[in-house]
Structure 1
């Protein structure tokens, strides 16, 4: 694993320390890694949403559409 050093003002360092303590992280590094993962996932989701918004419309999202989606999800979900 690579190492990166960051400098934080005292107030931010205190905040990080509180998060580590209150939320059960093993270290400040674990907390920062989690923040980075969340940001990466947020950016990925944003990209997918923008891509979907720019794609051609395939149909109406009405009751039958959602019933079909629910049926597909039920067939693929472990029970």
Structure 2
């Protein structure tokens, strides 16, 4: 696959590769695509949550339950 970039965009990619620890411009572009896909999935989850029925108040008890669930999942 070939991608055409403006000189300004190419310079930004080159700078990212040299200053952010990427091995190549391809690695940097793949990382951008991964981040974009993650953002799309996150937005879809937010939309799904907004469309779901209310599950109760998000108060201190809610977050306590969430912390306990995360702890349980981390322990396996």
TM-score normalized with structure 2 length: 0.92
> Which residue of structure 2 aligns with residue 19 of structure 1?
16
Q: Which runs of 5+ in 2 are unaligned?
A: none
> Which residue of structure 1 aligns with residue 73 of structure 2?
76
> Which residue of structure 2 aligns with residue 32 of structure 1?
29
**When the two structures are aligned, how many residues end up with a matched partner?**
75
Q: 4+ residue stretches of structure 1 with deviation over 4 A? A: none
Please report how far the alpha carbon of residue 31 of structure 1 lies from its aligned counterpart in structure 2 after TM superposition: 0.3
TM-score normalized with structure 1 length: 0.88
Q: Which runs of 5+ in 1 are unaligned?
A: none
Aligned-CA RMSD value:
0.9
More helix by share: 2
> Which residue of structure 2 aligns with residue 56 of structure 1?
53
